Amino acid sequence: MTIDVNILQNTLCKAMCSEVKIREKSAGLLAVDTPFTFPDGDQYQLYIKVMPGGLLRLTDMGHTLMHLSYEHDIDKFCEGTRGALYEKIKSETSVEEHDGSLCIDSTSEQLAADIFRLGQAITSISDLTFLKRSRIESTFYDDLRDSLFRVVPAEKVKKDYLYEGMANASDYPIDYWIEGREAPVFLFGIPGRDKAKTVTIILEHLLRANATFESILVFSDQSSLPRADLARLTNVSDTMISSLDAESDFRRKLEKKAQLN
């Protein structure tokens, strides 16, 4: 079968152009209708502002971050792993942010390409909200730290603590030492199977060294671990929290063990 590239290109151009429409909203402001939508079905809000000198500013007028803020903490985009990813997305798509609005300064010749670039940026930024659910390892640790310090004052916490009462202590780091009511609390974050195995080994060594402590294990998703791994971990641990999404359980169990005053 022979394909006429010119005919195919014309057909594709007509089809794509029919999906993008421009409407006048007010003097100097045009609305751009595209097929781009958020996962909930809401359409991306794109506008063209006519700037001095013939410059065309393509902008979402703050709608993207406002839309995401209904169900997510937008401040997270400025912190930790999410913040780095957010800045990377803007850099790779040449998108700038002004007072919460995402925008690209364009020209009539570049406008079509820039509409797709801004749409790509909005899609990627929207995808950052799913990190809370999937919790890649680095983001999980950011979330764990934030959750911990919402309950326990920073001065009562030591990160990457080493228990010096056993040999080769540096081989068995403890994510967080927390001043406890009766004994120190050793808190571990467990984003996946590899860390579960590591924590099992660390706890076994601490118990053999007769260390005095209480352990709290916080999972990214406890249900995702193989039953055998979870069983071994259960045998050497005190308290488990199935997910950081169980915020009330995390707070309740931590408040029982930690010295907060």
Rounded alpha-carbon distances, angstroms, from residue 45 to 72, 101, 107, 239? 19, 11, 19, 47
Does 5 reside within a domain?
A: no
**Total domains, the chain:** 2
Does 2 reside within a domain?
A: no
60 and 128: one domain?
yes
Q: What are the tens digits of pLDDT across the range 169-209?
A: 999 999 999 999 999 999 999 998 899 999 999 999 999 99
Residues 16-30: b if buried by 16+ CB within 10 A, e if exposed: eeeeeeeeeeeeeeb
In the chain the first and final C-alpha atoms are separated, in Å, by: 78
Give the domain range for residue 155: 137-257
Q: What are the tens digits of pLDDT across the range 57-89?
A: 999 999 999 998 887 777 766 777 778 888 999
What's the CA gap between 193 and 234, in Å, rounded? 14
Q: What are the tens digits of pLDDT across the range 128-159?
A: 876 654 455 667 898 899 999 999 999 999 99
19 and 43: one domain?
yes
Q: What are the tens digits of pLDDT across the range 82-136?
A: 788 889 999 999 999 999 999 999 998 899 899 999 999 999 998 887 665 445 5
34 and 99: one domain?
yes
Domain final residue pick, 88, 108, 134: 134
Domain final residue pick, 89, 118, 134: 134
143 and 109: one domain?
no
20 and 43: one domain?
yes
Mean pLDDT (whole number) for 19-32: 88
76 and 177: one domain?
no
Does 49 reside within a domain?
A: yes
pLDDT at position 149, please? 94
86 and 176: one domain?
no
141 and 247: one domain?
yes
pTM reported for the whole predicted model: 0.55
What's the CA gap between 49 and 26, in Å, rounded? 10
Q: Which of 180, 126, 182 lies closest to 152, judged by CA? A: 180
37 and 100: one domain?
yes
Does 9 reside within a domain?
A: no
45 and 142: one domain?
no
115 and 152: one domain?
no
Domain final residue pick, 76, 108, 134: 134
Mean pLDDT (whole number) for 237-253: 91
